[in-house]
Amino acid sequence: MQEERSLLDTITSVLTPVHKDGYKFIAAFAAGSFILSYFSEPLGWVGAAATLWCAYFFRDPERFPPERGTAVVSPADGRVSAIETVTVPKELDLGGGARTRISIFLSVFDVHINRSPVAGRISKMVYVPGKFLNAELDKASEENERQCLTLETGSGERIGCVQIAGLVARRIVTFVSEGTTLGLGERFGLIRFGSRTDIYLPPGCEPLVRVGQRAIGGETVLADLASGTRKSA
């Protein structure tokens, strides 16, 4: 019995937890697999594979943010698809003007849980309905369905974070509301089935990543708010 318990603990320790938002989708995929298997065994196996993929998509691994309190971490797993100086969306209420935007593109194989890029309070939260264009397109920032959040740190810095739906993504889910205080790397939402997340850095804050680099949500440092990494504005 002790050996069986040890084996179970070992298996559990290496399995990535699934976020509760995915339970209903996994159940639907499993039910579909069962129905397909009734008519055709090969189709049943295809359904079983799809069910496993669904569970994989909704995985929610633990992450360990850096101890550096001035770090701006990636809000999502994925590839850094663009680093540009752009006009700030009015929904973020960051005073207009231009800021550096770092875009993280999430494929259907990436973890889709979004995490807070800084420790701070959500001072603004705006949902904008829109299209479902390819999230890698530049105009997706202005035309796609999106959820905009502005986070204010204890030192008064304000960071813009935008969840953007994509060609396949059809639902942006948030776990928080305006006024919520988040810790660095704390979960605040997810986007179902492929998407993009944008970060708008404070003026003078330099990116510490490059285009094409892989980012890990809640861990990869995108920038540092400390004065040593800031340009004079």
Q: Are 201 and 100 in contact (CB under 8 A)?
A: yes
Q: Measured between alpha carbons, how far is 90 from 81 in angstroms, rounded to an integer?
A: 22
- Which of 151, 85, 165, 145 is closest to 117 using CA atoms? 151
Question: Distance between CA 140 and CA 45 in Å, rounded?
Answer: 36
Domain boundaries, the chain: 2-57, 71-226
- From first to last of the 233 residues of the chain, give the pLDDT tens digit: 444 444 434 434 445 677 677 677 778 878 888 888 778 887 778 888 878 777 777 788 888 889 877 899 999 999 999 999 999 988 998 987 899 999 999 888 888 889 999 999 999 999 988 666 655 666 666 667 889 999 999 889 999 999 988 666 567 888 899 999 999 999 998 887 668 899 999 998 999 999 999 999 999 999 999 854 455 44
Question: Containing H/E element for 224?
Answer: strand 221-224
pTM across the whole model = 0.78
Two tokens, residue 182: 């988040």
In DSSP notation, 34-98 reads HHHHHH-HHHHHHHHHHHHHHHHHTB-------S-TTEEE-SSSEEEEEEEEEEPPGGG-S-SSE
CA distance 201 to 98: 10
Eight-state DSSP code of residue 12: H
Q: According to CATH, what is the number of the domain 71-226?
A: 2.70.70
Residues involved in catalysis: 195
